[in-house]
Amino acid sequence: MTAPPLISPTRIYVEPAAAELPRGRAVLDRFPDAERVEVASHWRIPELHGDEANARRWVRIKREALVLGVKKSLSARPNGRSAHFIAPSTANGCAMACAYCYVPRRKGYSNPITVFANIEQITGYLARHVARQGPMTTPDQVDDRAWVYDIGENSDGAVDALVSDNVRDLVELFRGLPTAKASFATKYVNRDLLDWDPQGRTRVRFSLMPERTAKLLDIRTSPVARRLAALDDFVTAGYEVHVNLSPVVVHDGWLEDWAELLVALGDATSAATRDQLAAEVIMLTHNRALHEVNLGWHPRAEELLWRPDLQESKRSEGGGVNVRYRSGLKRALLDQLLSLIATHAPYLRVRYAF
């Protein structure tokens, strides 16, 4: 039996202004059989919210609903970890359903993909922003010589590419910007991207975690083995390929599982891939509200994610309660993983770990 597609929109919620733009028309033409529902604002679509504990319903919304809007305010925010700047989003939401997902759920728990149709405005803004920076002259952990722009803060670019050409347009924009690079993290292998000829100006960061944990937590994503098998192909196609070892979830046997993954990473990659590879390592941060939602539909995930014996809580800026591994303990756990990397993947430069 073949798995149902990740996305198969049967209903598109569309702002009139988005429908008039060429990208909006292209998305509507791509799914001609989908019902169109006009909405005044992509922010206010109450029927997408609904019952958080009804996993079957919100997964169906992820597959069947698409939102088409216009991104109003454009700005590139300084970052300094994954990238120098966070580019204005060309999409938000996600068709996947990771149990620990920290991407803001702006459209309820289903949080289906919203595509922004004013891509020409966004690429124009970015080109001017890059020009204003001038050359990048001080190498740092983000990059040696390019300003790096994260183009996927609020979505997964490889999945967004299933519904529009926005990500392709960004890859093509950065191909012509010798002082800058695009970058996005993904948990989905979309081989259409292999034909885009990025010429080294786009960095794809494949997220990896041990398969046993991913099966429980990385819901609707590409299996880790498929992500590993894609790394060489993306390098050959002209992408810079990095890995995000994240989130790192501590449980019985976690170090053995990570050792196995690091060995598999070496086995899956050519010398050329390993030479250019670098990693971000990010320990799990979880959230009380998400914990409570998850208990209703996926309690086994919470056995791994919610560990009051190891975690401390902190009130977030938004007023919620985040939990993370206790600070002294976290440092020790990170050091254990970094030493595992040094043993099993000595070629892997860790750009940052926290």
- Contact set with ligand SF4 (CB under 6 A): 94, 96-98, 101, 103, 156, 187, 221
When the beta carbons of 118 and 222 are compared against ligand SF4, the nearer one is 222
When the beta carbons of 59 and 241 are compared against ligand SF4, the nearer one is 59
Minimum gap (Å) between residue 38 Cβ and ligand SF4 = 27
CA atoms within 13 A of residue 121's CA, in its CB half-sphere: 16
Structure tokens at 131: 């020009």
Q: How far apart are CA 78 and CA 25, in angstroms?
A: 32
Q: How far apart are CA 113 and CA 167, in angstroms?
A: 13
**Extended beta strands in the chain, E state:** 11-14, 35-38, 65-69, 77-78, 85-86, 91-92, 114-116, 147-150, 180-186, 202-208, 240-248, 278-283, 285-287, 311-315, 321-325, 349-353
Minimum gap (Å) between residue 102 Cβ and ligand SF4 = 7
DSSP 161-225: TTT-SHHHHHHHHHHT-TTEEEEEEES---GGGGGS--TT-EEEEEEE--HHHHHHHSTTSPPHH
CA pseudo-torsion sign 76, 77, 78, 79: negative
When the beta carbons of 99 and 117 are compared against ligand SF4, the nearer one is 99
Is residue 311 within 8 Å of 323, Cβ to Cβ? Answer: yes
Q: How far apart are CA 330 and CA 341, in angstroms?
A: 16
Minimum gap (Å) between residue 58 Cβ and ligand SF4 = 11
When the beta carbons of 109 and 239 are compared against ligand SF4, the nearer one is 109
When the beta carbons of 98 and 337 are compared against ligand SF4, the nearer one is 98
When the beta carbons of 200 and 223 are compared against ligand SF4, the nearer one is 223
Minimum gap (Å) between residue 94 Cβ and ligand SF4 = 3
Minimum gap (Å) between residue 179 Cβ and ligand SF4 = 28
Cβ contacts of 180 within 8 Å, gap of 6 or more? 130, 133, 136, 146, 147, 148, 149, 174, 201
Minimum gap (Å) between residue 337 Cβ and ligand SF4 = 20
When the beta carbons of 168 and 187 are compared against ligand SF4, the nearer one is 187
When the beta carbons of 153 and 165 are compared against ligand SF4, the nearer one is 153
Minimum gap (Å) between residue 10 Cβ and ligand SF4 = 21
Is residue 266 within 8 Å of 303, Cβ to Cβ? Answer: no
Minimum gap (Å) between residue 152 Cβ and ligand SF4 = 9
- List the 285-287 sheet strands across, edge first: 285-287, 321-325, 311-315
Q: How far apart are CA 8 and CA 61, in angstroms?
A: 10
- Total H helices, total E strands in the chain: 13, 16
Minimum gap (Å) between residue 200 Cβ and ligand SF4 = 25
When the beta carbons of 103 and 177 are compared against ligand SF4, the nearer one is 103
